[in-house]
Amino acid sequence: MNLLRTRHAFAAVAVLAAGLTAGVAAPVPAADHTLADTSHAATAAAVPRVITPAALQEPSPADTARTELAQLTVAEPHSMAGYSRAKLPHWITQHGACDTREVVLQRDGQDVKQDDQCRAISGTWTSPYDSKEITSASMIDIDHVVPLAAGWRAGADEWTTDQRRAFANDLTRPQLIAVSASSNRQKGDQPPDQWRPQRSYWCTYSRAWIDVKDFYNLNVTGAEMDALAEMLDTCPTL
């Protein structure tokens, strides 16, 4: 892996991690978190809040993703010895009472309303993994496109806790997405050569996976690289 590129990526992670450690959100336009009360009820807990949703991060175009994929280091998976989800801290506070999960629920849903604790109390979500339409936040999981354990096996085992925290709460890259709980649990921590979403989402999913691995300089296996290339081939040609 190009040493300059590695240093650049980890420098960016370190800056993001420093902000997250201080309880500051990753860079997000201020308008994304504009709050507007929708009632004059006497009790604050009864006042739902509506947050203008930001767009879900769009992955790089297919041609860019192919270039990124070719540059990834192919290596055998690292050992899972010492792994714990607690070593990749999530969900952290992003702003006010809102943690990463609640920010993604708001961002990826339609007509999402939140209470004074930032909990989603109503809204509609369409899971891109299986096209399920869901109207209860309790049935939504926030998926790490590159799962935490998959990141560990690909090089995150060698990171600092701050770097892992940044990876686990990244709102800047297409790493977090609201999906049906059932599809997320089917996926588990499997890479694309072992699990894929519905075929219509292959193009987006592969580009997102590659973007994340490229930014964080994470390794891929040979089988994973082949699967990603196959999924990229479903992207429309311009």
Mean per-residue pLDDT, 64-81: 98
Of 15-19, 26-30, 77-81, 200-204, give the lowest mean pLDDT range: 26-30
What is the reported pLDDT for 237?
Answer: 84
pLDDT at 233 over 70: yes
- Pick the more confident residue, 30 or 151: 151
What is the reported pLDDT for 203?
Answer: 98
What is the reported pLDDT for 57?
Answer: 72
Res. 55 pLDDT band, cuts 50 70 90: low
- Mean pLDDT, the chain, whole residue set: 83
User: What is the three-state SS of the chain?
Assistant: CCHHHHHHHHHHHHHHHHHHHCCCCCCCCHHHHCEEECCCCCCHHHCCEEECCCCCCCCCCHHHHHHHHHHCCECCCCCCCCCCHHHCCCCCEEECCEEHHHHHHHHHCEEEEECCCCCEEEEEEECCCCCCEECCHHHEEEEECCCHHHHHHCCHHHCCHHHHHHHHCCCCCCCEEEEEHHHHHHHCCCCCCCCCCCHHHHHHHHHHHHHHHHHCCCCECHHHHHHHHHHHCCCCCC
CA distance 30 to 34: 7
Query: What is the model's pTM?
Result: 0.79
C-beta of residue 194 within 8 angstroms of C-beta of residue 41:
no
What is the reported pLDDT for 196?
Answer: 98
The predicted-structure confidence for 163-204, as pLDDT tens digits, reads as follows 999 999 999 999 999 999 999 999 999 999 999 999 999 999
In the chain, the amino acid numbered 4 is L
pLDDT at 47 over 60: no
Q: Retrieve residue 173's tokens.
A: 């890259």
**Percent of the residues in the chain that have a pLDDT greater than 90, as a whole number:** 75
Mean per-residue pLDDT, 213-229: 98
Of the candidates 121, 118, 184, which has an alpha carbon nearest to the alpha carbon of residue 148? Answer: 184
Rounded to the nearest angstrom, the gap between the alpha carbon of residue 115 and the centroid of all alpha carbons in its chain is 23
Res. 230 pLDDT band, cuts 50 70 90: very high
For helices 222-232 and 62-71, the axis angle rounded to 10 degrees is 170
Of the candidates 223, 216, 219, 231, which has an alpha carbon nearest to the alpha carbon of residue 12? Answer: 216
In the chain, the amino acid numbered 205 is Y
The predicted-structure confidence for 112-160, as pLDDT tens digits, reads as follows 999 999 999 999 999 999 999 999 999 999 999 999 999 999 999 999 9
pLDDT at 27 over 50: no
Mean per-residue pLDDT, 3-7: 41
Mean per-residue pLDDT, 34-60: 44
